[in-house]
């Protein structure tokens, strides 16, 4: 066993550290625990950061999980959820990079990035993100509407469920950050203080950089005038917490336009004396003043600046020019120091920019360019992204209207954004594709257009939903079978299908053809087996020619890696495999009716931050519309989805949202207006100016499936 050998000075350092309640220096740990360090040298790891984290206050709440459990959730399936390219715009350059708009639940997407297997993002994103900006729902319980009063998304999940939802995303976000990266999270008074503690836990309190305050919009102070007495005062700001991945990282400075006067005139400030400069070279007599505290500047620098000022005084006796004029004439580089009564002052020359502090109330926090609710201002993101360099990768997984993406694009940063709302996705797509017509960043000429095309981008779907709340299918096999059959409107039959088709796993027939249910209640199938071409070939081999025509398989989207396929059976006849896919999330939605291993603690928090379910049917959602004098009317709408009772929706009942492009070019759908189902009368009428034959609509049903764009009839 290795011997401990400590010098006198080591002991002193150890006691000092203990007395100050700080970590002993790393090399002392090596001396104190030599055998442990030998293990480390042999490939073990010791996480000093983790030690640091243990010492901070932590937040306790119901349902809080270990980080390890959260991260393990990503590997449960054994493979990542596939990213599917939906649309691409522009051709990538030599590096092959495209910016990404990701449609789907950000937790699922984060897990996919964390697993780092999908070819689209493999080795390009994990550990490479330089800046994360997120502005999640604030956990207020509010519903947020578009500028037309539509309901766009809801922040309905509250309490510990909300905090845990944020925390698990933060854990994954930390894992995908680059070592030199950092994260900004915008939040408000409802949960801000809890989020701060959670950020300390996840990132380490030594990575805390700043708390920044951001304007919320028009102050509501006037509202309180009507009351004699009040119970609180108006709220004027949101908070942004800024954390880094590593404490030693340094970032580019953030500046803003200087006030008008500062651009023309210089000003005198006291030359600070501070203990921070406590070095012998900084202690000297300056213009007859010799205080104990050291000066902010070195002796050489100060003396030269005094000399410069004396020269200027001498010079201006004849020319009467101002110090600004003199400074400009001499090349805008000279520094000046003077004595003013008992103060030593240095001169700050005129400047176009000044550095910012953490009060950002000077700029707007929200703006209303896109009509999407809670759109953050480009000024705010412009300021935030200043700490990064061109080409850095910027990530926002609560994308909304796409402010982070738009600003990153204008600043030549690469970006990835994500949102599961279709309204958000089409808003972002439009915003990016029309970026040339938007305002240039910076304040000098507010009306100047940006005028450059967007960098190459792709809209992709994360294609699957979160598996984190897998219900206990072993106990609920029968409920599951009944549920998924009802989902697709197929009645269950008790027949000897095994005898008829020589196959297990068939539970019903549709139009006389067999319907198999992929057996997710068996762990092996749930986590490892994937429905691929070989799987289908096995079915043909086992059934020995008993199958011809159509063969349907009901399968969660995450468990299949093929789409519809036609193969030949043993007699050479075609068998058309039709996959009835659905996202696993739908099971969570349904799980209220089943007994669960992990019961949700309220009917409202079945889902993560915001609920979203969607089917992947092959029958498209169908819509037809015609032009009317006042706008347009939906003359037909149908969706194959069914409600909880297993019935299809009548009329417009199953409609969630209609997206309208007034002038559709047949290629790119340019969202002009989003109208929610609730706002459309029973006759399908939508009031809107500018509708022509070139106007097209997309209908989105209540499960998120969308129709193809169709022109007016
Ligand atoms: C406050 S808004 C973001 C606004 C955005 N910063 C902007 O400038 O427009 C929050 C967004 O997060 C989205 N969101 C909520 N939960 C989500 C989830 N689990 N996955 C992806 N997006 C989600 C909502 O649809 C909403 O668009």
Check which CATH number belongs to the domain holding 365 and give it.
3.40.50.150
- Same domain? For 157 and 95 the reply is yes
Distance CA 268, CA 337 (A): 9
Q: Is 109 left (phi over 0), alpha (psi -120 to 50) or beta?
A: alpha
Distance CA 445, CA 435 (A): 17
| Arithmetic mean of pLDDT, 480-500 | 81
- The answer to the question of residue 613 being in a domain is no
- Expressed in angstroms, the distance from the first to the final Cα of the chain is 87
| Arithmetic mean of pLDDT, 465-469 | 34
Distance CA 235, CA 686 (A): 37
* Structure tokens belonging to residue 316: 């201006």
Model pLDDT for residues 663-673, shown as the tens digit of each residue: 999 988 988 98
Does residue 609 have a pLDDT over 50?
Answer: no
- pLDDT value of residue 107: 87
Q: What is the mean pLDDT of the chain?
A: 83
Among the ranges given (494-508, 528-542, 553-567), the one the predictor scored with the smallest mean pLDDT:
553-567
More confident residue, 402 or 51: 402
Q: Which of 321, 348, 375 is the last residue of a domain?
A: 348
**Interval between CA 153 and ligand 1 midpoint (Å):** 8
- pLDDT value of residue 86: 82
What are the backbone angles phi and psi of residue 513, rounded to the nearest 5°? -105, 150
Report the 10 Å Cβ neighbour count for 199: 23
Report the 10 Å Cβ neighbour count for 682: 7
Does residue 4 have a pLDDT over 70?
Answer: no
Ligand 1 lining (C-beta closer than 6 Å) = 105-107, 135-137, 153, 372, 374-376, 398, 400-401, 403, 418-421, 424, 608-610
Nearest CA to ligand 1 atom 15: 610
- In the chain, the number of structural domains is 5
User: Pocket of ligand 1, candidates 419, 588, 614: which has the most ligand atoms within 8 Å of its Cβ, to mutate?
Assistant: 419
Does residue 450 have a pLDDT over 60?
Answer: yes
- Report the CATH number at residue 655: 2.60.40
Model pLDDT for residues 337-368, shown as the tens digit of each residue: 999 998 899 999 999 899 999 999 999 999 99
Does residue 513 have a pLDDT over 70?
Answer: yes
Nearest CA to ligand 1 atom 26: 400
| Arithmetic mean of pLDDT, 315-328 | 94
- pLDDT value of residue 5: 74
- The answer to the question of residue 422 being in a domain is yes
Which of 187, 191, 194 minimizes the C-alpha distance to 214?
187
- pLDDT value of residue 583: 67
Distance CA 418, CA 374 (A): 15
- Same domain? For 238 and 362 the reply is yes
| Arithmetic mean of pLDDT, 504-518 | 93
- Same domain? For 247 and 268 the reply is no
- Strand 549-556 vs strand 513-517: parallel, antiparallel, or unpaired? parallel
Q: Which atom of ligand 1 is nearest to the CA of 155?
A: 15
Q: Which atom of ligand 1 is nearest to the CA of 138?
A: 1
Distance CA 350, CA 329 (A): 13
| Arithmetic mean of pLDDT, 118-136 | 95
Does residue 592 have a pLDDT over 80?
Answer: no
- Same domain? For 213 and 74 the reply is yes
- The answer to the question of residue 243 being in a domain is yes
If DSSP codes are grouped into helix, strand and coil, which group holds residue 177? strand
User: Pocket of ligand 1, candidates 133, 136, 606: which has the most ligand atoms within 8 Å of its Cβ, to mutate?
Assistant: 136
**Interval between CA 582 and ligand 1 midpoint (Å):** 23
Confidence class of residue 598 from pLDDT cuts 50, 70 and 90? very low
- Same domain? For 101 and 245 the reply is yes
Strand partners, 417: 101, 396
| Arithmetic mean of pLDDT, 272-292 | 77
Q: Which of 327, 348, 369 is the last residue of a domain?
A: 348
* Structure tokens belonging to residue 697: 């609509």
- pLDDT value of residue 686: 94
Strand partners, 693: none
Does residue 271 have a pLDDT over 70?
Answer: yes
- pLDDT value of residue 52: 60
Model pLDDT for residues 8-61, shown as the tens digit of each residue: 888 888 777 777 666 677 777 777 776 666 666 666 555 655 656 666 788 988
Q: How far from 476 is each of 195, 284, 350, 581, 593, CA to CA, in Å? A: 37, 82, 74, 20, 11
| Arithmetic mean of pLDDT, 450-467 | 78
Distance CA 95, CA 456 (A): 11
Percent over 90 (pLDDT), the chain: 47
- The answer to the question of residue 51 being in a domain is no
CB 389 within 8 A of CB 126: no
Q: Which atom of ligand 1 is nearest to the CA of 403?
A: 8
User: Pocket of ligand 1, candidates 407, 428, 610: which has the most ligand atoms within 8 Å of its Cβ, to mutate?
Assistant: 610
Three-state secondary structure readout of 91-156: CCCCCCCCEEEEECCHHHHHHHHHHCCCCCCCCCCCCCEEEEEECCCCCCCCEEECCCCCEEEECC
Q: Which atom of ligand 1 is nearest to the CA of 165?
A: 19
Q: Is 659 exposed, middle or buried (0-12, 13-18, 19+ CB in 10 A)?
A: buried
- Same domain? For 215 and 250 the reply is yes
Q: Is 650 exposed, middle or buried (0-12, 13-18, 19+ CB in 10 A)?
A: exposed
CB 622 within 8 A of CB 655: no
Does residue 425 have a pLDDT over 60?
Answer: yes
More confident residue, 479 or 644: 479
- Same domain? For 99 and 222 the reply is yes
| Arithmetic mean of pLDDT, 525-532 | 82
- Same domain? For 369 and 506 the reply is no
- The answer to the question of residue 103 being in a domain is yes
* Structure tokens belonging to residue 418: 């994500």
How far, in whole angstroms, is CA 424 from its chain's centroid? 13
- pLDDT value of residue 80: 47
Does residue 154 have a pLDDT over 60?
Answer: no
Nearest CA to ligand 1 atom 14: 398
Q: Which atom of ligand 1 is nearest to the CA of 421?
A: 25
Beta-strand ranges (E) seen in 290-413 are 337-340, 343-348, 353-355, 359-360, 393-396
- Same domain? For 363 and 506 the reply is no
- The answer to the question of residue 637 being in a domain is yes
| Arithmetic mean of pLDDT, 652-666 | 90
Q: Provide CB contacts within 8 A for 496, sequence distance 6+.
A: none
Distance CA 611, CA 590 (A): 12
Strand partners, 686: 632
Report the 10 Å Cβ neighbour count for 47: 8
- The answer to the question of residue 616 being in a domain is no
CB 1 within 8 A of CB 35: yes
Q: Is 572 exposed, middle or buried (0-12, 13-18, 19+ CB in 10 A)?
A: exposed
CB 674 within 8 A of CB 657: yes
| Arithmetic mean of pLDDT, 630-658 | 82
- pLDDT value of residue 239: 98
Q: How far from 573 is each of 370, 372, 501, CA to CA, in Å? A: 54, 53, 15
Q: Please name the residue ranges forming H helices in 354-458.
A: 378-385, 403-410, 422-433
- pLDDT value of residue 30: 73
- Same domain? For 329 and 231 the reply is no
- pLDDT value of residue 616: 40
Among the ranges given (155-164, 399-408, 452-461), the one the predictor scored with the smallest mean pLDDT:
155-164
Nearest CA to ligand 1 atom 5: 400
Q: Which domain holds residue 590?
A: 473-599
User: Pocket of ligand 1, candidates 146, 382, 399, 611: which has the most ligand atoms within 8 Å of its Cβ, to mutate?
Assistant: 399
**Interval between CA 520 and ligand 1 midpoint (Å):** 31
- Same domain? For 572 and 689 the reply is no
H or E stretch at 425 = helix 422-433
- pLDDT value of residue 37: 63
Nearest CA to ligand 1 atom 19: 105
CB 690 within 8 A of CB 605: no
Task: Provide the CB-side half-sphere exposure for 304 (13 A, CA).
Answer: 8
Q: Which of 348, 374, 407 is the last residue of a domain?
A: 348
Hey, what long-range contacts does 707-710 have (CB within 8 A, 24 or more apart)? Answer: 707/620, 707/621, 707/622, 707/623, 708/620, 709/661, 709/664, 709/669, 710/623, 710/624, 710/625
Tokens 């029309």 found at: 434
- Same domain? For 202 and 97 the reply is yes
| Arithmetic mean of pLDDT, 593-615 | 30
- The answer to the question of residue 518 being in a domain is yes
- pLDDT value of residue 231: 87
Beta-strand ranges (E) seen in 518-647 are 549-556, 565-568, 574-582, 622-628, 631-638
Percent over 70 (pLDDT), the chain: 82
Distance CA 391, CA 395 (A): 13
Q: Provide CB contacts within 8 A for 272, sequence distance 6+.
A: 295, 296
**Interval between CA 373 and ligand 1 midpoint (Å):** 10
Q: How far from 405 is each of 99, 101, 393, 395, 402, CA to CA, in Å? A: 9, 9, 10, 8, 5
| Arithmetic mean of pLDDT, 600-614 | 29
Does residue 174 have a pLDDT over 80?
Answer: yes
**Interval between CA 523 and ligand 1 midpoint (Å):** 33
DSSP single-letter state for residue 377: P
CB 462 within 8 A of CB 102: yes
Task: Provide the CB-side half-sphere exposure for 96 (13 A, CA).
Answer: 5
**Interval between CA 398 and ligand 1 midpoint (Å):** 4
**Interval between CA 135 and ligand 1 midpoint (Å):** 7
């Amino acid at each position: 066993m290795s011997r401990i050998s400590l010098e006198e000075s080591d002991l002193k350092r150890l006691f000092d550290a203990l007395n100050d309640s700080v970590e002993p220096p790393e090399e002392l740990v090596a001396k104190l625990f030599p055998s442990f360090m030998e293990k480390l040298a042999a490939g073990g790891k010791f996480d000093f950061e983790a030690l640091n984290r243990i010492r901070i206050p932590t937040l306790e709440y119901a349902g809080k999980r270990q980080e390890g459990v959260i991260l393990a959730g990503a590997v449960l399936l054994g493979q990542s959820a596939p990213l599917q390219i939906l649309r691409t715009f522009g051709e990538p350059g030599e590096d092959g990079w495209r910016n990404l708009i990701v449609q789907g639940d950000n937790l699922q997407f984060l897990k996919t990035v964390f697993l780092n297997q999908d070819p689209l993002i493999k080795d390009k994103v994990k550990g490479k993100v330089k800046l994360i900006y997120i502005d999640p729902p604030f956990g207020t319980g509010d519903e947020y509407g578009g500028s037309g009063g539509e309901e766009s998304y809801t922040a309905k999940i509250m309490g510990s469920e909300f905090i845990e939802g944020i925390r698990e995303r933060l854990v994954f976000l930390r894992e995908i950050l680059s070592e030199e990266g950092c994260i900004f999270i915008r939040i408000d008074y409802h949960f801000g203080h809890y989020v701060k503690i959670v950020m300390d836990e996840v990132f380490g309190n030594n990575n805390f950089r700043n708390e920044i305050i951001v304007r919320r919009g028009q102050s509501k102070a006037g509202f309180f005038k009507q009351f004699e007495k009040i119970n609180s005062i108006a709220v004027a700001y949101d908070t942004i917490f800024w954390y880094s991945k590593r404490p030693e990282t340094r970032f580019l400075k953030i500046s803003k336009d200087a006030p008008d006067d500062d651009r023309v005139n210089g000003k005198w400030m006291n030359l600070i004396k501070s203990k921070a400069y406590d070095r012998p070279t900084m202690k000297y007599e300056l213009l007859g003043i010799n205080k104990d505290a050291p000066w902010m500047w070195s002796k050489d620098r100060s003396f030269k600046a005094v000399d410069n000022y004396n020269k200027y005084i001498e010079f201006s006796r004849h020319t009467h020019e101002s110090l600004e004029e003199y400074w400009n004439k001499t090349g805008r580089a000279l520094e000046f120091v003077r004595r003013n009564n008992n103060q030593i002052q240095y001169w700050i020359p005129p400047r176009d920019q000044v550095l910012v502090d953490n009060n950002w109330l000077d700029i707007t926090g929200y703006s209303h360019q896109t009509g999407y609710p809670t759109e953050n201002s480009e000024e705010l993101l412009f300021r935030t992204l200043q700490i990064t360099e061109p080409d850095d990768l910027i990530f926002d997984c609560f994308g909304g209207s796409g402010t982070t993406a738009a600003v990153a694009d204008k600043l030549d940063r690469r970006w990835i954004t994500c949102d599961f709302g279709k309204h958000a996705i089409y808003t972002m797509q439009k915003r990016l594709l029309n970026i040339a017509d938007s305002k240039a960043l910076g304040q000098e000429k507010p009306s100047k257009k940006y005028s450059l095309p967007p960098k190459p981008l792709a809209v992709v779907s994360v294609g699957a939903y979160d598996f984190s709340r897998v219900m206990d299918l072993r106990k609920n096999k029968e409920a599951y079978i009944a549920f998924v059959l009802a989902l697709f409107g197929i009645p269950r039959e008790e027949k000897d299908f095994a005898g008829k088709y020589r196959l297990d796993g068939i539970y019903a027939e549709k139009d006389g053809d067999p319907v198999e249910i992929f057996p997710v209640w068996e762990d092996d199938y749930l986590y490892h087996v994937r429905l691929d071409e070989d799987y289908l070939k096995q079915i043909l081999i086992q059934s020995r020619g008993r199958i011809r025509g159509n063969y349907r398989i009901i399968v969660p989207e995450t468990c299949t890696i093929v789409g519809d396929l036609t193969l030949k059976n043993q007699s050479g006849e075609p068998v058309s495999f039709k996959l009835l896919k659905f996202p696993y999330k739908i099971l969570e939605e349904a799980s209220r009716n089943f007994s669960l291993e992990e019961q949700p603690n309220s009917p409202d928090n079945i889902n993560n931050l915001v609920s979203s379910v969607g089917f992947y049917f092959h029958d498209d959602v169908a819509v037809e519309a015609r032009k009317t004098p006042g706008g347009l009317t939906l003359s037909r709408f149908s969706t194959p989805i069914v409600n909880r009772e297993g019935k299809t929706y009548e009329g417009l009942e199953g409609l969630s949202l209609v997206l309208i492009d007034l002038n559709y070019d047949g290629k790119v759908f340019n969202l002009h207006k989003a109208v929610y189902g609730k706002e459309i009368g029973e006759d399908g009428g939508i009031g809107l100016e500018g509708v022509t034959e070139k106007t097209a609509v997309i209908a989105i049903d209540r499960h998120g499936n969308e129709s193809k764009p169709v022109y007016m009839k």
